[in-house]
Amino acid sequence: MATSTKSTSTTQDELEKLVSDLRGLLASKDLDGVPDIKQLRQRLDDGVQSVRDATVRAAQDAAQQARDAASAADRYAHDEPWRVAGAALAFGTLLGFLLSRR
């Protein structure tokens, strides 16, 4: 879960940097002569906010799905410990066999 949090933080930082760069570009005095620049700036801000909100929601949904999957695996391991142990034993045996053939 720490990896997903770090990844989400990195993505958010990159998004913030992009927004800052775009705002800096649109704040340029050279663009003040363009008649529709105010509307363009507003549409850009609205679009960026929408993307930011969608990104945060997607990251939260992904983190919740990961927590749910981990919880389901934990419940299964506690409910069926012999099956999990048997599967781990079979996987380990197969892996050991394949590695010994190298």
Average pLDDT in the 62-69 region? 95
Whether the per-residue pLDDT at 93 is higher than 80: the answer is: yes
Kindly indicate the confidence band of residue 45, based on its pLDDT and cuts at 50, 70 and 90.
confident
Number of domains in the chain: 1
Kindly report the average pLDDT of the chain as a whole number. Answer: 83
* 3-state secondary structure labels for all residues of the chain: CHHHHHHHHHHHHHHHHHHHHHHHHHCCHHHHHCCCHHHHHHHHHHHHHHHHHHHHHHHHHHHHHHHHHHHHHHHHHHHCHHHHHHHHHHHHHHHHHHHHCC
Q: Give the domain extent around 53.
A: 2-100
Q: What is the pTM of this model?
A: 0.53
Question: Each residue of 6-23: pLDDT tens digit?
Answer: 666 777 788 778 777 877
Kindly indicate the confidence band of residue 29, based on its pLDDT and cuts at 50, 70 and 90.
low
